[in-house]
Amino acid sequence: MLATRSHNYPWNLTAPGSFTQEYDSFQSVQVSWNKVDDEERRLHLLGSYVQIESNIPDLETRLRKAWLTARYFHPGIAIRLEEYYKSYNVPTDDELNAWLNKTFLEAPCDTAEEFQRKYIGNEPQPQLYWFHKTKELLIIAHHTLFDAGGLWLFWESYLELVASPKTVRFGDEWKNLPFARDDLLGLPRYPSLAAYTKGLEVIMDCLKPEVVELPTLNTRISSDGQIITNGKSHNGFLRVVLPPDQSMAIVQSCKHRGVSITSAVFVALALTCRKFQSEYGKAGRYAACFHNFDSRPWFSKEAAKLCNAGNDPHAMIPFAIDLENKDFDEILVSTDEKFRSLRTEFGKDPAGLDALSLMLKGLLDLNGPVATFPGFTSFGVGDRIIKTAYNDEAGNWIKIVDTYHWIHNMVKGMNAVCIYSWKGRMILGGCFNEAWHSEDMFRRLFQESFDLLLCKFDLKQEKL
């Protein structure tokens, strides 16, 4: 087994062929959202999509067999989420076939988009849906088991198995079960007092009374100050894609200014959200959010590749940016400095990430108030993370033509925005609850955010 930097969360053999792993600090936060809410929605499911082209004649058969084989190399796709731990059982042949029939499914509709709008279920374990007409593939699983980067790594491994099938024999696949993030970072079983002090300083720095939020629609305030919706919860999601020339122009402008694309897009979103907020009342002063970043760069190369199913190794660090009486460039510089300092500080010494997670678990209680500023993350350049073409010796091939990730069934009015690039195009994606926010609001948010970037960078504007 691959050596980790610490061994506080091992997979323990509890019975012949049965293994359990306790949740580490960050996973304990995520699994606390593995609940079914009052509207019978499984909260925080993650959807990952690829559309492919292929000349393989027996493609569906190959896809099905590859999913079974993938369980050997990535048994995390068959992990069960219990209340206090993850569990995995080495399957018998009958159990393996039953698992395959339950998790590799032909979709009940023609497109992945329609499925996500109408048919999302309550199963937290990973399921793979195949859309024959459109050659789309969709994985639905609880966020505890995957992140966006891990899903791209998994898609690559899976499609390699479709293009080049392998024969495996189950029984020792448990050796490929995922390692805990805290172990890979060398964090202790329990945070130290210094770690709690470090984490508390970060949290206190972001708790502000006047925060920027997206206005809620079709809602009212209860007698105890809670926001109540007048409609039924429903998943909403959309993407806005910037043309290649404008995408490249923004990239070059960020390089010229010495700032990250992530920082630039976040500032544009924050200022546009603040503008929307002012249309309905007083605008907030602080853009408060979480800096979500992947811990994989701090792992060994071998470990990073192994941890792409059954675990989300992210770090989630809260922060706040003061927008009051500052121009775009000032806010951009301070945001970029904040992002870089957080990465540098915790990259050099991850102590405090565990304490942060444990404290956030209390703050992010499902029954408490929910901030409606978009949760923001950058997925990076997709076609650099994942191979887009797969071939075998017989001349068969598969190509990925499109991809995205969504979070479904977020708590109350929570919403999320991501930025990523795919084949030279910059893409803003968003998911939200239509009982709280409208698709028109998010489309306008994305278009005006891109327009603001183009304007502030003195770039030619075109209608998106």
d(CA 345, CA 339): 10
- Compute φ and ψ for 410, nearest 5 degrees: -75, 160
Long-range contacts, 244-248 (Cβ 8 Å, 24+)? 244/424, 244/425, 246/426, 246/450, 246/454, 246/459, 246/460, 246/462, 247/421, 247/424, 247/425, 247/426, 248/424
pLDDT number for residue 464: 46
**How deeply is 94 buried, as exposed, middle or buried, from its count of CB atoms within 10 A (0-12, 13-18, 19+)?**
exposed
CA distances from 393 to 197, 253, 296, 311, 388 (A): 57, 43, 32, 33, 17
Got the DSSP string for 254-299? Answer: HHHHT--HHHHHHHHHHHHHHHHHHHHSPPPSEEEEEEEEESGGGS
Question: Could you tell me if 286 and 321 are in contact, meaning their C-beta atoms sit under 8 angstroms apart?
Answer: yes
Mean pLDDT in the chain? Answer: 92
Q: For residue range 226-285, what is the model confidence (pLDDT) as tens digits?
A: 777 878 899 999 999 999 999 999 999 999 999 999 999 999 999 999 999 999 999 999
Ramachandran area for residue 423 (φ above 0: left; ψ -120 to 50: alpha; else beta): left
pLDDT number for residue 307: 60
174 token code pair: 């448990």
pLDDT number for residue 306: 61
23 token code pair: 């949740």
CA distances from 451 to 2, 347, 423, 446 (A): 48, 34, 21, 9
pLDDT number for residue 305: 61
Closest C-alpha to 180, from 115, 247, 46, 85: 85
227 token code pair: 């926001």
d(CA 311, CA 242): 32
d(CA 269, CA 272): 5
Strand order across the beta sheet in which 80-81 lies? 12-15, 18-22, 85-89, 80-81
**How deeply is 142 buried, as exposed, middle or buried, from its count of CB atoms within 10 A (0-12, 13-18, 19+)?**
buried
Q: For residue range 335-375, what is the model confidence (pLDDT) as tens digits?
A: 999 999 998 999 889 999 999 999 988 888 777 777 789 99
Question: Could you tell me if 397 and 387 are in contact, meaning their C-beta atoms sit under 8 angstroms apart?
Answer: no
User: Considering the entire predicted model, what is its pTM?
Assistant: 0.94
Instruction: Report, as ranges of residue numbers, the positions in the chain whose pLDDT lies below 70.
Output: 1-4, 301-307, 460-464
d(CA 237, CA 395): 37
d(CA 115, CA 142): 17
- Count of alpha carbons within 13 angstroms of residue 454, beta-carbon side: 19
Q: Tell the residue number behind the tokens 């508390």, with chain if given.
A: 200
Question: Could you tell me if 432 and 417 are in contact, meaning their C-beta atoms sit under 8 angstroms apart?
Answer: no
d(CA 356, CA 26): 9
Strands 127-131 and 104-106, how do they pair? parallel
Got the DSSP string for 53-116? Answer: EE--TTHHHHHHHHHHHHHHH-GGGG-EE-SSEEEEEPPPHHHHHHHHHHHEEE-SSS-HHHHH
307 token code pair: 């941890």
d(CA 202, CA 151): 29
How far from chain centre, in Å, is Cα 398?
25
Report all structural domains of the chain as residue ranges with CATH numbers, in order of start: 15-182 (3.30.559.10), 193-383+411-456 (3.30.559.30)
Length of the chain: 464
Closest C-alpha to 86, from 184, 156, 138, 14: 14
pLDDT number for residue 252: 96
